[in-house]
Structure 1
């Protein structure tokens, strides 16, 4: 798939009520977006809504809301749609482009949030789709002891919080709740998802710092003064610091939370030490300059923090409050089963725990499908590793991410076969990807589902 997308000029993506929740669809769109940054706009993404009128949720909205769409309601629209796509490929545009036109098509929810943050998944009345960040009011959100620590900390003045954990463990959902708690006590919130920095910015230090400042200004709805501050003969982190202190904090006049998700996106950037040491200096400045107590830093990462910066004395990850999120306990899985109306009996519940451990996303997905009668418990377990099974899309997504990464494949097979990973660097990457876990000196696949699937499908 990656090879096909890499050589394509256009990616026509069909978006239905089910496909918008597909991890593979999200990956394809993100891959096309990243390639377009370095290939002069190609492949161009051409979204087609298939009788789907809901707002795109995060992160799809970040990629798709700014480009034109097409719409198909039923068989009667097929000929028109084909003609529209042919015309767009020939140099035209898809029909739905203006915000006003899109608003007429999309069924906008009556619920509004003032947070500049990812949107939670659209919620049915009784059950909730398991994908995406969770609404703060969701009755399916399982609070963990770490939640109380994060919410209590953000109510204080001038704090630094690091939320770390494996992929799909609930980091972004906890971040959203933390942001809401900050907003409730009068703090301004600026949310930055580092996944949205394009390849050009991640390869150019000055471009990255300028865009970082501009993005922050735009979210806070302040006048852009980046050009003015960039005239000073200083380094990029110094300019950025002057912009934050002399303009943002001074003019804003109220506490602000800088909430940064997926910060490990810049792990491979050459300027990562400069950026993270800048954040550490902002943390340290609170001790000597009161204005810096107006700034809270909240960072979310899947990568072990000490991998992100060479000098730990200049790291923002080993100061303040660190929140380490873990998978659900058996008791929490039982609680979630009850909240779904007990679609699984006690024996089936233990089978689920044996298959998935406490993987928050997979457990929620399984309970949602069974509770909605989209699959029976017997079918769930019998087809667990099948491509057309309940977890097929999720498993293929992980398999695609491993494609061509020989070291990671060998490391994962070592974990599956020998319960060890001799290369610590590979272990950190596999754990950050949410594929393995460590108990004492034993390294294991994160859940039995992963062990079964990758044992069958990975080749050295």
Structure 2
């Protein structure tokens, strides 16, 4: 334990720990759970977990490798052994070489080994940034019988990365997992409610390794929703015995585009959640609904699944989180207080958007350009965001009503009131941030780029009219 304390003091020499942090570290080393720590300290369980989460992230940044409560022993013991090996190498240089050997950088600091930012952050990746207390909230909530969790954020904000970590946690509890991504559904699946619910039930059955037998439970006279409920209640939930099942529904906003489906499917999910309050069978089902925007299909308050359960809205990265991520990418300048201030300019440009920040750091750690040049060219076709911006422009051009709405947003520095559906669709694309129906550009990058594009289009239009 003495070696542990001395080692951690060295590792976190720029960030001394307080008494509660030392307490959590000590108890974690001894194998205590957060609940046991809370009972022994008088602090609430959630606070202890938050302290632990921040502590593991600080250690991860300092060590250059992912540290968790579970791998604490392994990570610190390896660090101590590495220090011993490095010391011995300096004392006994091989083949008569100088003793001032450089320690190799951690694997993920190697620019050639860092993957291009695309899709969810891998579970084993050290580049995942916690956004306390969100991770703790979803992992705690999934333990509650019959829970309903909603994860909401625009595209590329980290929804799937958070969902995957919650699923990994549920697997550790020996829960069964059913994961459905509605983007995988063929367009014809949305032709009718009956077709959609049958597709839904078949997919759930397959993932639970059960033979689909819908015809044994489906009754056209009772209707599709009741048939679906009976299929879950009398078949699927009976065969999973006492093991809870997590039903993770990703890209649910696709259902919003089909009012004939959404107006029945979404209230059905709420009804199942409420059934769990009085029926032990339904308590086995834990539901997670992930989507990019608020629902824009009118539903009665007592039918919407989005005003029950717990809602997790993913925020952009704070400046501190941006600086922490820079360190994880091996950008040494982030360790210098003066140099770190430069990342405030990046934060202002992209609004802390996780994907845009990761893309910037990927290019910086490749040594392709300096931050000043990256920011100067950010909104231009030759900048690192060129392809991303062109993709967004193409999406807008395919929907003139959204193009018109975005023009209204860009035309002023004030918030603009938009049609509800246009506002929500722009939010789902990550282009605007909403305050009710009042919209403003999500970040300076989008404001600059679309201002330039709309200016070009208007000039071309005026020139054409003159001709």
Is the shorter-chain TM-score for this pair beyond 0.5, marking a shared fold?
A: yes
Is the 8 Å Cα contact of residues 343 and 370 (structure 1) preserved in structure 2?
Answer: no
Identify which of 267, 272, 277 aligns with 2:267.
Answer: 277
1:351 aligns with 2:345: yes
SS of 2:287's partner is: strand
Segments of structure 1 that go 5 or more residues without pairing to the other structure are: 1-122
Segments of structure 2 that go 5 or more residues without pairing to the other structure are: 1-109, 334-338, 459-467
What is the TM-score of this pair, normalised by structure 1? 0.70
Shift of the alpha carbon at 1:416?
A: 1.7
Which residue is equivalent to 2:383?
389
SS of 2:149's partner is: strand
Which residue is equivalent to 1:157?
145
Identify which of 250, 253, 257 aligns with 1:261.
Answer: 250
1:192 aligns with 2:188: no
CA 1:206–1:169 in structure 2 vs 1: closer, same or farther (change >3 Å)? same
Which residue is equivalent to 1:421?
416
Which residue is equivalent to 1:104?
none
1:456 aligns with 2:444: no
Is the 8 Å Cα contact of residues 179 and 247 (structure 2) preserved in structure 1?
Answer: yes
Which residue is equivalent to 2:393?
399
SS of 1:271's partner is: helix
List aligned pairs for 1:47-126, cutoff 5 A: 126=113
SS of 1:299's partner is: strand
**CA–CA distance in structure 1, aligned partners of residues 147 and 112 of structure 2:** 37
Give per-residue Cα distances to partners, 1:187-225, cap 9 Å, x unaligned.
101000011111111122221111111011111111111
Q: State the superposition RMSD in angstroms.
A: 2.1
**CA–CA distance in structure 2, aligned partners of residues 293 and 263 of structure 1:** 22
CA 1:288–1:439 in structure 2 vs 1: closer, same or farther (change >3 Å)? closer
Identify which of 129, 137, 144 aligns with 2:116.
Answer: 129
Identify which of 315, 324, 329 aligns with 1:326.
Answer: 315
Shift of the alpha carbon at 1:271?
A: 2.0
Which residue is equivalent to 1:445?
441
**CA–CA distance in structure 2, aligned partners of residues 148 and 252 of structure 1:** 26
Which residue is equivalent to 1:312?
301
Shift of the alpha carbon at 1:347?
A: 4.4
Which residue is equivalent to 2:207?
219
Which residue is equivalent to 1:436?
432
Is the 8 Å Cα contact of residues 264 and 308 (structure 1) preserved in structure 2?
Answer: no
Shift of the alpha carbon at 1:309?
A: 4.8
SS of 2:302's partner is: helix
**CA–CA distance in structure 2, aligned partners of residues 309 and 211 of structure 1:** 24
1:143 aligns with 2:130: yes
Shift of the alpha carbon at 1:389?
A: 2.2
Shift of the alpha carbon at 1:124?
A: 8.5
CA 1:454–1:132 in structure 2 vs 1: closer, same or farther (change >3 Å)? same
Aligned residues: 337
**CA–CA distance in structure 2, aligned partners of residues 185 and 286 of structure 1:** 20
**CA–CA distance in structure 1, aligned partners of residues 244 and 290 of structure 2:** 20
**CA–CA distance in structure 1, aligned partners of residues 365 and 112 of structure 2:** 13
**CA–CA distance in structure 1, aligned partners of residues 328 and 148 of structure 2:** 33
Is the 8 Å Cα contact of residues 276 and 316 (structure 1) preserved in structure 2?
Answer: yes
> Segments of 4+ in structure 1 off by > 6 A?
439-442
Instruction: Work out which of the two has the higher radius of gyration on C-alpha atoms and give 1 or 2.
Output: 2
What is the TM-score of this pair, normalised by structure 2? 0.69
**CA–CA distance in structure 2, aligned partners of residues 147 and 288 of structure 1:** 28
CA 1:439–1:229 in structure 2 vs 1: closer, same or farther (change >3 Å)? closer
Which residue is equivalent to 1:234?
222
**CA–CA distance in structure 2, aligned partners of residues 373 and 241 of structure 1:** 56
Which residue is equivalent to 1:22?
none
Is the 8 Å Cα contact of residues 302 and 432 (structure 1) preserved in structure 2?
Answer: yes
Shift of the alpha carbon at 1:268?
A: 2.0
Shift of the alpha carbon at 1:126?
A: 4.9
Is the 8 Å Cα contact of residues 415 and 445 (structure 1) preserved in structure 2?
Answer: yes
Identify which of 202, 215, 228 aligns with 2:190.
Answer: 202
SS of 1:313's partner is: coil
Is the 8 Å Cα contact of residues 434 and 446 (structure 1) preserved in structure 2?
Answer: yes
CA 1:242–1:211 in structure 2 vs 1: closer, same or farther (change >3 Å)? same
More helix by share: 2
CA 1:455–1:125 in structure 2 vs 1: closer, same or farther (change >3 Å)? closer
**CA–CA distance in structure 2, aligned partners of residues 125 and 304 of structure 1:** 39
CA 1:232–1:422 in structure 2 vs 1: closer, same or farther (change >3 Å)? closer
Q: Which moved more, 1:290-299 or 1:231-240?
A: 231-240
Which residue is equivalent to 1:79?
none
SS of 1:139's partner is: coil
Which residue is equivalent to 1:366?
360
